[in-house]
Structure 1
Amino acid sequence: MKPIRLMSGFLTVGFWTLASRVLGFVREIMLLALIGPGPVMDAFVAAFRLPNMFRRFFAEGAFNAAFVPMFSAKLEGDEGAATFGRDALSLLALATLMLTGLAMIFMPALVWATAGGFDAERFDLTVEFGRIVFPYIFFMSLSALFSGVLNATGRFAAAAAAPVLLNVLVIAAMALAWFTGGAIITWLIWTIPLAGVAQLALTWGAASRAGFGLGLSLPKWTPDMAKMVRTAVPAALATGVMQINLVVGQLVASRFDSAVSWLFAADRLYQLPLGVVGIAVGIVLLPDLARRLKAEDYTGARDAYSRAAEFSMALTIPSAVALMVIPLPLVSVLFERGQTGADDVASIAVAVAIYGLGLPAFVLQKVLQPQYFARGDTKRPFHYALVAMVINAALAIGLAPVIGWIAPAIATTVAGWVMLGLLFWGVRDLGEVTTLDTRYRQRLPRIVLAAAVMGVALWMASVALSPALGAAHVRYGALVVLMVIGILSYFGMAHITGALRLSDIRRAARR
């Protein structure tokens, strides 16, 4: 077996995900500045969340969990991978086409189920926007299948670069609308399905060059398709639990003015490290584990799992500390302009700090879930996800009358840690492959120590730089200085304690 070089894959996916998230920041900065928290942005967020919710199920959930291990195994055994891929593509196209048609018809019901607290103005706007943006799910789901093909063959770049197209096109559309005096929201919503077409074209072309230019045919219900669907249905919920929790939170937040916009902005900020680290690790680790387990390379599988966890925590823990220690400077510099004022910034910063507390749990879920999915086990993560969803809903709904709009953020964070605890509990009987090695156990406390030192340095620096962070003409430079202080203090302490070695980073970068 030719092993996938894990660190190289992490860095490739992480680089493109970072590019996508940075451009996503630019997108949200423009959205908050040009439209701002209020009825129009609330409606857009609720409408755009509908295809995104299903995208997480079909793309990052079901197909990463069900399609990729089966396709990888067929590649390894030369067992008709192309035929299996074509059948899966045809079945997925039919399913998402039917879903899109039903959503267009029953859009008011979907909006009521996910944002039932909206007043008449926001509700009608959400229905209108939803019917325009929902077809994005059809193109994006097919793109996800081709991304799975590319990931299974060790070609990560094109699949990871596809999401960049959405942000590039949306930013260009809003800029053109602003420059020409057009309706920004109109340009924005019509660009989203167009971006789906562009993403599908990119991944389909890359898969064709890799020798898997799959074409559509009449869907066939084969034993492989039946097995894939049986695996995919529980996996969709297990990996999409965060999206469901966000929708539950949105349903609660829709009863408070601008709360949907505030939580959306906070979600985008903590999604940066989650996307760069957690999703990148999950994408690369799953096919690698599937190949190693099929070849009975249990030592290599354990090493891959341990390195993935170590890499994740080395980047996630300091990110979480930064989000909890300096949320206000981050949110103020990034979002406070135009239609977004100081009160909006303060509310977003509170949510950012709460989400930051849950960030390590969200990322480690991405590391642990491949241990189940690589073995074709999606039922137990499904059961764990049900428990986490019940806890999330109970806390979000129960706390809202007491503490208001912030209840969904607290509920999401608590549910994330519960889900992680259940996943850790469940891997105990999967053998030594799921036992983190000595190197990880030695380095984790050192990573925590380095992140704590960084947190103290960031807090002291933010106090010293507070006048500059509040001054319009120098606040960007002050934030850069703050970030540099955080980076130097963390990596310096990590090197001193042995949490991270510069030689390891250099070797990984060369690979």
Structure 2
Amino acid sequence: MSLLKNVGTIGGLTMVSRVAGMGREMIFSRVLGANEVTDAWFQALIIPNVFRRLFAEGAFSAAFVPMFSKRLSKDGTAEADGLEEARSFSNDVISVFVPVLIALTAILEIAMPGVIWLLSDKPVDPDKFDYSVDFARIMFPYILLVSVVTLLTGMLNSVSRFAPGASFPIILNLVLIATLLGVEYVGMDEGDVVAMGYIVAWAIPVAGVIQLAWLIYWAHAEGFRPRWISRPRLTPEVKRLGIIALPAAIGGGAYQINTLLQVYFLNQLDGSAVSWMNYADRLNQLPLGIIGIALSTAILPTLSRFVGAKDDAGAARIQSNAIELGMLLTLPATVALAVCAVPFVTMIFQGGRFDLADAAATGNVLAVLVAGLPAYVLVKVLVPSFYARSDTRTPVYAAVAALAVFIGFNIAFLQRFGVEGVAAASAIGAWLNAGILYFVLRLRGYYRADWPLVGRLLRQLVAAAAMGGALFYVSGLLSEYYSAGLFARLLALAALAACALIVYFGAALALGAVSRDRLAQFMTRREPSPDA
């Protein structure tokens, strides 16, 4: 396996998706701004995404991918027989998975007014409550569509076909961009923001249908032809999948309860706190999606094979490579986003209904939020070591501990620190989570970072600090360009990016934080198979 090649495939397409998502948010901020309607719209989108990450991307993928991969490559099994066994297993899973999703969707559609009331827990304008419920009901069926998409993605990832699964989020962004541009072209005025919200809300399930069609096409191309309508078959293997997935769902539940509680706490604050956090998190999620999620997706199948072959040295090597590569790319992104938070937000989002005050508020949130970015990436990189060993319980305990810290911090300091305090609580919880995961891996003898790796990480941190100093100086020289015309903003953004790249990688090479040989190894080295 060439780690950088697979990460490059996933990360490259994820980057396209995130850039498209950034374009979507840029247009969204100008068309709809930051107000009560956008708060309700983002809140409505969070609800299906929480359940998607809980049941599909989290628990389901953690259990399904290793089990499906083992059937494809079972020792002593012909390739055709392995494929047929994997097909049968996936059909059994679908026969149970899809009815459960349909039932969940129906229940939440009925209970949605109660969900919105719980998230608000304070007097809400009746009109806002009505369209908040409507937005959520329109968007929630997306969970059914995207969860099936995630199942197909897991099947394709198991045969190292990463591109289709990494590319489907692009479809959602393109559909939303087209819808927003259409709304703007029609020329709705300030009083039509609610109507705009309804139109853009309907774009979510439409995009889900297109995404599902895209993944079905690629699944068929790889020889997978799932049966979508069949009698539920609760076989022993499906039961085992459920037993493995349940703790992961509980652990993922801690993350997703964190997300819902974040909305709850933000709703207790004045101003457009939900919208500010959303725009800040969009920039925070850009490196997290490109680096953390790509690494996590790329290493899980390989870790599963090494662990299955009891090759602890091979598994540790994959883990170290993932940590080193992840931090090499994450640390500069963290420092750059922290130092240039307000300039970046102003250049990217400010305009139309999103004014300079909104940009300043969002930038302040971003500067705090990115403090947890390296920890989020480390969590993404460390969790696959547990999942590859069918241990989905340990990440539960780490996630619950992080959730407890998040809740306690906000109960104590919400009104004192406001929206920045909510961001700080998220960052603190992420570092606690990462620390617990590493401590347990080391305690059990699964993985221990060696001193050469630690030394390179410290040198990466020094290089990132040097870059931060350079950016602080250069950003002050360019301040007049941040809210100017498009060309001036692009010029300033390019200058900051060039400064960051030159200083960071120059310092990293000079300090020995990374070497050309090491980069070449990431790119070209193929990890030996467990059999070898």
Partner of residue 294, structure 1: 308
Match of 1:103 in 2: 108
* Residue among 302, 305, 311 paired with 2:319: 305
Contact kept in structure 2, 1:159 and 1:203, CA below 8 Å: yes
SS in 1 for 2:492: helix
Q: Residues 350-380 of structure 1: CA distance to partner in whole angstroms, max 9, x if unpaired?
A: 1101111110111100011011111111112
Among residues 35, 40, 59, which one is paired with 2:37 in the alignment?
40
User: What residue identity is the alignment partner of 1:8?
Assistant: K
Residue 193 of structure 1 corresponds to which residue in structure 2?
205
1:132 pairs with one of 124, 134, 138:
138
> How far is the alpha carbon of 1:402 from its aligned partner?
2.1
Q: Structure 1 residues 210, 5: closer, same or farther in 2, change over 3 A?
A: farther
Asked if the contact 1:17–1:275 (Cα under 8 Å) also holds between the matched residues in 2, the reply is yes
- Per mean C-alpha deviation after superposition, the further-off stretch among 215-224 and 154-163 is 215-224
Corresponding position of 1:276: 290
For residues 203-260 of structure 1, the C-alpha deviation after alignment (integer angstroms, 9 at most, x for no partner) is 1221221122211222211111111112212212424544332221110111223111
TM-superposed CA distance for 1:42, in Å, is 0.6
- 1:84 pairs with 71, 78, 89, which one? 89
Report the Cα distance in structure 2 between the residues aligned to 1:434 and 1:185, rounded to whole angstroms.
48
Report the alpha carbon displacement of residue 405 of structure 1 after superposing the two structures with TM.
3.1
- Equivalent pairs, count: 507
User: Alpha-carbon deviation of 1:143?
Assistant: 0.3
Rounded Cα–Cα distance in structure 2 between residues aligned with 1:289 and 1:357:
29
TM-score normalised per structure 2: 0.92
Other-structure match for 2:480: 467
Between 234-243 and 271-280, report the one with greater CA deviation. Answer: 234-243
Is residue 449 from structure 1 mapped to residue 479 from structure 2 by the alignment? no
In 2, Cα distance between equivalents of 1:353 and 1:213: 47
- 1:153 positional shift: 1.1
Which of 160, 165, 168 is residue 159 of structure 1 equivalent to?
Answer: 165
Contact 1:317/1:360 (CA < 8 Å) preserved in 2?
A: yes
* Contact 1:396–1:410 under 8 Å retained in 2: no
Show the counterpart of 2:490: 476
The residue number in structure 1 matching 2:155 is 149
Asked whether the 8 Å contact 2:292–2:381 carries over to 1, the reply is: yes
Q: State the partner residue of 1:14.
A: 11
CA distance in 2, matches of 1:118, 1:482: 44
Q: What amino acid sits opposite 2:131 in the alignment? A: L
What amino acid is the match of 2:72?
A: L
Partners of 1:9 and 1:117 lie apart in 2 by 47
Q: Which residue of 2 aligns with 1:250?
A: 263
> After the TM superposition, which segments of 4 or more aligned residues of structure 1 sit over 6 Å from their partners?
none
Counterpart in 1 of 2:117? 112
Instruction: Give the Cα–Cα distance (whole angstroms) in 1 for the partners of residues 166 and 524 of structure 2.
Output: 20
Contact preservation (8 Å) 1:51, 1:133: yes
What does 1:37-436 align with in structure 2 at a 5 Å threshold? 37-77=34-74, 78=77, 80-117=85-122, 119-120=124-125, 121-181=127-187, 183-216=195-228, 217-239=230-252, 241-255=254-268, 256-431=270-445, 433-436=446-449
Question: Are 1:28 and 2:25 counterparts?
Answer: yes
> How far 1:470 moved relative to its partner?
4.1
Q: Secondary structure at the match of 1:492?
A: helix
Q: Distance in 2 between matches of 1:501 and 1:238?
A: 38
Instruction: State whether residues 172 and 207 of structure 2, in contact with CA within 8 Å, keep that contact through their aligned partners in structure 1.
Output: yes
CA offset digits 1:303-352 (Å, max 9, x no partner): 11110111100011111111111101101101111111121111111110
- Range 362-371 or range 439-448, more displaced: 439-448
Deviates more, 1:55-64 or 1:23-32: 55-64
Alpha-carbon separation, structure 1, partners of 2:213 and 2:232: 21
Cα drift, residue 266 of structure 1: 0.8
Equivalents in 2 of 1:242, 1:15: separation in Å? Answer: 26
Contact 1:443 1:498 (8 Å CA) reproduced: yes
**Are the counterparts in 2 of residues 46 and 115 from structure 1 also a CA contact under 8 Å?**
no
Structure 1 window deviating more from structure 2 (269-278 vs 221-230): it is 221-230
Q: Partner letter of residue 266 of structure 1?
A: A
TM-score normalised over the length of structure 1: 0.95
Question: Which whole-Å deviations, capped at 9, do the CAs of 1:11-60 have from their partners, x for residues lacking one?
Answer: 11000111111111111111111111111101101101000111111222
Partners of 1:315 and 1:352 in 2: how far apart? 18
2:50–2:259 CA contact under 8 A, matched in 1: no
Closer/same/farther in 2, CA of residues 82 and 311 from structure 1, 3 Å limit: same
Could you tell me how far 1:122 is from its partner in structure 2?
2.6
Q: In the aligned structure 2, how far is the partner of 1:484 from the partner of 1:164?
A: 26
Instruction: Report what 2:192 is aligned to.
Output: none
Distance in 2 of aligned mates of 1:373 and 1:194:
33
Shift of 1:504: 4.3
CA contact (8 A) 1:302 1:437 kept: no
Name the CA distance, whole Å, in 2 between partners of 1:366 and 1:35: 33
| Contact 2:255/2:399 (8 A) holds in 1 | no
Deviation per CA, 1:144-174: give whole Å up to 9, x if none.
0110111111110011001110001110111
AA paired with 2:24? Answer: R
- Report the alpha carbon displacement of residue 175 of structure 1 after superposing the two structures with TM: 0.8
CA RMSD of aligned residues (A): 1.7
- Whether the 8 Å CA contact 1:249–1:396 is kept in 2: the answer is no
Q: Counterparts of 1:44 and 1:335 in 2: how far apart (Å)?
A: 17
2:2–2:522 contact (8 Å) kept in structure 1: no
Query: Distance in 1 between the 2:326 and 2:182 partners?
Result: 38
Q: State the secondary structure of the residue aligned to 1:388.
A: helix
1:129 Cα offset (Å): 0.5
Higher mean Cα deviation, 56-65 or 237-246? Answer: 237-246
Do the aligned partners of residues 91 and 5 (structure 1) sit closer, same or farther apart at CA in structure 2, a change above 3 Å counting?
farther
